[in-house]
Amino acid sequence: MAHMTNPLATPEQLFQRRSFGALPMDLQDAVFFATQCLTQAAGILLELPQSITAQANVLLARYWLVEPMMSHEFSDVSAAILYLTAKCSDLPRSPRDLCLVYTHLLSRTSSTFFRPAHLPPPPPPLSPSNQPPTQADYAAFHARLLPLEAHILASLSFNTHVALPHPLAVTYLQALDFFGQPRRGPLARRALAYLNTALLSPQLLYLTSQPHALAVAALYNAARDVGARMPACDWWEVFDVEREELGFLVVGMRSVDGWGRKIRAEAIEGWEGGMVTREDVERELRRRGIGVGAGNENGGGLGDAEEEMARRMDEKMAAMEAGAA
């Protein structure tokens, strides 16, 4: 059963992410949403199946659970994780392919990425093949990609296993005998759409619940949307999901759409669309009067709270080593 479950985030990790992050929570949410959307768009342009892109989204959420967001450029993290995930599959993509796609997506005129609601739509973009990166651009991208890939692997303790709920949702539909019903097609598509949307959830649903619970919640929401008749009993208990957990996941999945619209409408001041960068975030922090630290070896700014957390961790490790001695 191990291949059907995921390592879940601990309460301590979730608390530290919310309490000790260098960024205010609204900026963390904006960066998380934008980077997950960027990863999805890159997966589409790289012609990767959704299963690989979804795994990359989950690994990205895990990585930022243990590493500060400002350590590296957000788009570089997206590219490195997508490269790593594809390399572990039977559909690897070369660094040059990723460089081409991300160069296109990071263009301010790219229509494949969102813009703040108050700005007009961008002009029609060129296709990726018409705006290839230069050799210098590729060399710089390659030099950032490979070390970051190694850093991500080390941060994740080389655990890249991700079990997705999508196959389970289809299996549960079969168990409930919905493939013999006239609304089976819309129900299945709607359930998978909920599972894909949940990847963007600020509640980190993929890090706090197992795949079988996510699949059940997606089916519950989809059945409500399309008017499908579900069993009159507490059918979710057959799939080992409690009512309280189901209620939390149902509300969490249904709230992602409204939350995403809010993120789009309340963009960082002065942001003109395209992918949010560390420079955009640092400018917003200065506007709010929030100081940015001197930065780490990767050029990212670390806040006082994050430096304090690092100091506490160092002290704890020193105490453990002293006790072992």
DSSP 278-301: HHHHHHHHHHTT----S--TTS--
Give the C-alpha separation, 9 to 207, whole Å.
Answer: 5
Structure confidence by residue, pLDDT tens digits, 56-72: 999 999 999 999 999 99
Residues 89 and 176 in one domain: no
Q: State which of 262, 281, 309 marks the end of a domain.
A: 262
In a domain, 254, yes or no: yes
Residues 58 and 113 in one domain: yes
Residues 207 and 109 in one domain: no
Residues 155 and 176 in one domain: no
At which residue do the structure tokens 């917003």 appear? 284
pLDDT of residue 303: 45
Q: State which of 162, 181, 214 marks the end of a domain.
A: 162
Structure confidence by residue, pLDDT tens digits, 20-58: 556 888 889 889 999 999 999 999 999 999 999 999 999
In a domain, 11, yes or no: no
In a domain, 17, yes or no: no
Give the C-alpha separation, 148 to 155, whole Å.
Answer: 10
The CATH number of whichever domain residue 58 belongs to comes to 1.10.472.10
Residues 50 and 146 in one domain: yes
In a domain, 69, yes or no: yes
Residues 303 and 192 in one domain: no
Nearest of 11, 5, 48, 50 to residue 204 by alpha carbon: 11
Give the C-alpha separation, 246 to 252, whole Å.
Answer: 10
In a domain, 300, yes or no: yes
Res. 183 pLDDT band, cuts 50 70 90: low
Nearest of 215, 265, 255 to residue 235 by alpha carbon: 215
In a domain, 15, yes or no: no
Give the C-alpha separation, 33 to 36, whole Å.
Answer: 5
Structure confidence by residue, pLDDT tens digits, 149-181: 999 999 999 999 999 999 999 999 888 876 556
Q: Which helix (H) or strand (E) holds 159?
A: none
In a domain, 14, yes or no: no
pLDDT of residue 290: 81
Token pair, residue 17, equals 């992410």
Token pair, residue 31, equals 């960066």
Residues 232 and 205 in one domain: yes
**Do 209 and 6 form a contact (C-beta atoms < 8 A)?**
no
Does 229 or 128 have the greater pLDDT score?
A: 229
Cα distance between the two ends of the chain: 39
pLDDT exceeds 80 at position 252: yes
Q: State which of 162, 188, 217 marks the end of a domain.
A: 162
pLDDT exceeds 50 at position 123: no
What are the start-end ranges of the H helices in 106-210?
135-155, 166-175, 184-197, 205-208
pLDDT of residue 240: 94
How many distinct structural domains can be found in the chain? 3
**Do 211 and 4 form a contact (C-beta atoms < 8 A)?**
yes
Residues 107 and 150 in one domain: yes
Residues 131 and 55 in one domain: yes
Angle at 95 between CA 89 and CA 98, to 5 degrees: 85
Round the CA-based radius of gyration of the chain to a whole number and report it.
Answer: 21
- Write down the mean pLDDT value for the chain: 82
Residues 41 and 115 in one domain: yes
DSSP class of 127: P
Residues 56 and 155 in one domain: yes
Residues 147 and 61 in one domain: yes
Give the C-alpha separation, 57 to 38, whole Å.
Answer: 10
In a domain, 277, yes or no: no
Q: Which amino acid is at 75?
A: S
Give the C-alpha separation, 176 to 191, whole Å.
Answer: 14
Full domain range(s) for residue 184: 166-262
